Amino acid sequence: MAGPEGGVVGDFVPRAWTGFQVKKSRMPVGNIRTEMASGGVLRPIIGQIARAWGAYVVVTLDDGVTGSHPRHATPVGP
């Protein structure tokens, strides 16, 4: 998803360039790294998002909400 150059897209989407990935099953950090860099090679779309100072948001349907969660996630790189 690309928004206005250097602009903010509403109050939910964190960056003008934002990639969303929705998965049915749980996605631990190791699995997210594999999704971003299959075989240790960064996927081209992830590189494009990074060069645009964008965000990559992973949503999973199988993770339950227990305890407290930070408002902002820690960046995960390959």
- Give the C-alpha separation, 47 to 36, whole Å: 9
Q: CB–CB of 42/19 below 8 Å?
A: no
Q: Is residue 67 part of a domain?
A: no
State the residue range of the domain holding 53: 18-60
Instruction: Answer yes or no: is 24 within a domain.
Output: yes
- Judge whether 29 lies within some domain: yes
pTM for the structure as a whole:
0.59
Query: Is 3 part of any domain?
Result: no
39 pLDDT more than 80: yes
* Domain count for the chain: 1
Nearest to 55 by CA among 39, 37, 41, 36: 36
In a domain, 28, yes or no: yes
Q: H/E element holding 20?
A: strand 18-23
Indicate if the pLDDT at residue 62 is higher than 80: no
- Whether 56 and 14 have beta carbons less than 8 Å apart is answered as no
Query: Is 1 inside a domain boundary?
Result: no
pLDDT of residue 5: 58
Average pLDDT over all residues of the chain? 74
Look at residues 75, 73, 11, 5 and name the one whose alpha carbon lies nearest to residue 46.
75
